[in-house]
Structure 1
């Protein structure tokens, strides 16, 4: 991996960790802005690398938060990586509305389904509204910032595949 790409990936992972420190209390837990940088990373990286940024960003974010779900966060990190991978794939084929819906439903509902069986149905039902809200906040923040970043980087060779 070339140095510029490595540094930019580390920057997005760091921004995810910082976003994870911004907590908004909600329901059984708090939500954070740790996914927004990974969503923005799709402007610069391939789907697998953007997904990897989401994985490491979530793990750092949850580490700073005290890992309230313990080892389940490794499963959550893999799910987030897959969801951001799908988001990046949809972004790359210009499915602009579908990518946002896929991200919000994927992160807010589908990623929570294993916890229905692993923890309890009550945890699932309590988590879904908060995660849908958190996913919507992360998506909205990324959607607001992305056009400015596209405009600022127009004509530059920042896109790293």
Structure 2
């Protein structure tokens, strides 16, 4: 089963790179569809896999964007991993709207809080609207795709479990 989970996590990280290439202009930089694969991984494969997809996905997305925040992207990757894990905890307990709301609020308002201290209030206030729009878009895409992808992935995970 671990091999299948690793394979699907790799596919989702690759999907993050594709999503990062889909840019929607925003106040600072752009909004990308790079977070929804982490939510897919979290809901279908579990919290640890979703966290890995979220962290690695952010780093690859930032790399494609030229790493505008430099080493601070390591902090953002850790925040994405934590948010994906939290999403998994609530989503897998059947509380998908709570999971979605926590992800949107966490990614939009809580995750950039360190930058309020590091870069100032103007940066925080400028980046929050873009993060809010991006979080909503990524969450909606994930919520629409999760049930469909789960139908394709769950039988594979179940078949592997029954073979052992």
> Which bin holds the TM-score, normalised by the shorter protein?
over 0.9
Q: Does the C-alpha gap of structure 1 residues 144 and 128 become closer, same or farther in structure 2, counting only changes over 3 Å? A: same
Question: Which position in structure 1 is the counterpart of 2:157?
Answer: 158
Q: Distance in 2 between matches of 1:119 and 1:127?
A: 11
CA contact 2:48–2:85 (8 Å) conserved in 1: yes
RMSD: 1.9
CA contact 2:44–2:146 (8 Å) conserved in 1: no
Give the TM-score normalised by structure 1. 0.92
Question: Which position in structure 2 is the counterpart of 1:102?
Answer: 102
Q: Which runs of 5+ in 1 are unaligned?
A: none
Quote the offset at 1:153 in angstroms: 4.3
CA contact 1:44–1:158 (8 Å) conserved in 2: no
Question: Which position in structure 2 is the counterpart of 1:93?
Answer: 93
Question: Which position in structure 1 is the counterpart of 2:40?
Answer: 40
Give the TM-score normalised by structure 2. 0.91
CA contact 2:108–2:131 (8 Å) conserved in 1: yes
Between structures 1 and 2, the one with greater helix share: 2
Q: How many residues align?
A: 160
1:10-159 aligned within 5 A: 10-153=10-153, 156-158=155-157
Judge which range, 101-110 or 145-154, deviates more. 145-154
Q: Secondary structure at the match of 2:45?
A: coil
Q: Distance in 1 between matches of 2:153 and 2:50?
A: 18
